[in-house]
Amino acid sequence: MIEGQRFSLIYLERKEPVRDSPRFRNRLSAYYWEYLYDNHNKAIVKIIQKETGAEIPFNVNYYSVSDFFKENEFRDVLDSITLIYRVVIASGCTGSKQRAEHWKQFVERAMKEENLGYRLDASCGVHYLVDEEFERNRFSTLSVLDDPKYNGVRAAYEDAYRYMDNYPIDTKAAVRSIFESIEILVKQMVETKNLNKWVVENTLKEKCIKIYNIDTTATKVVTEMFSGFAHWVDGLHNYRHGQAEEDPVSPGEVIAIYALSSGSAFLRWLIGINNQLNKSNKTVQ
């Protein structure tokens, strides 16, 4: 039993993350009245109006950001989360950084508890949240791309996730970018003009399989893994090089998420192999 925890957080079923929530809006409103209205209301009103063009409800003799949270389009609410953080941190008041961080931590907690499909970055920018595993996959892959020789790979990889963070999501650009990141890596590993199924099965596999030659079982497993990778490459070519239809169809969000998740796994795997091959070559020399 978890002591002292709210009932709804323990026992109510967690469904798919939602894109809007009246309870989340109410919580932002309550927080604003308690911690931000007295010292920051004027500056926050100005920046929201200037940067978003949104109307803030006027209540008798003051602009009500609390009512804004409850009544405005949710895109404006999400934008305001970031803008409020900027105002507070730049205010110069005593403890401004701590207050801004407190706001960020509260919003993060409220998003999680109300099951909203968003996450905050380090500067309180709002992004779509697919799920925790998707994010873990993303950062695990970035951690192996620190070597300068992978700068091109990393740039294309970051683009893929940036397109997923766009509003609206650009799934086609995301899928093309994850493909491009792997293609750049493969071009570093073998002589080829582009990445396709034939290159994977007849050039890349033949080079990479050598590091598994002393283990018969591993060789068989990795051979099948390269077959799976070859089919992945062949499938994504449908989005990579266009379609015959007059109006090309973008991949659905589910396909795009799978492409990025599986592409991340293939990328980490191939980088590990490439690092081993490079190390072996240096030892031989």
Q: What does the pLDDT look like over 207-230, one tens digit per residue?
A: 999 888 888 999 999 999 999 999
Parse the chain into domains and list their residue ranges: 16-128, 132-284
**What predicted TM-score, i.e. pTM, was given to this entire model?**
0.63
Q: Choose the most confident range, by mean pLDDT, from 132-146, 184-198, 227-241, 269-283.
A: 184-198
Q: Give the pLDDT score at 248.
A: 63
Question: In the structure encoding, which two tokens stand for residue 37, read together?
Answer: 């209205």
234, pLDDT greater than 90: yes
Distance CA 78, CA 111 (A): 11
The Cα 35–Cα 117 span in angstroms is 25
Of 268 and 11, the one with more pLDDT = 268
CA dist list (Å): 139 to 81, 191, 265: 24, 29, 11
State pLDDT tens for residues 255-280: 999 999 999 999 999 999 999 988 87
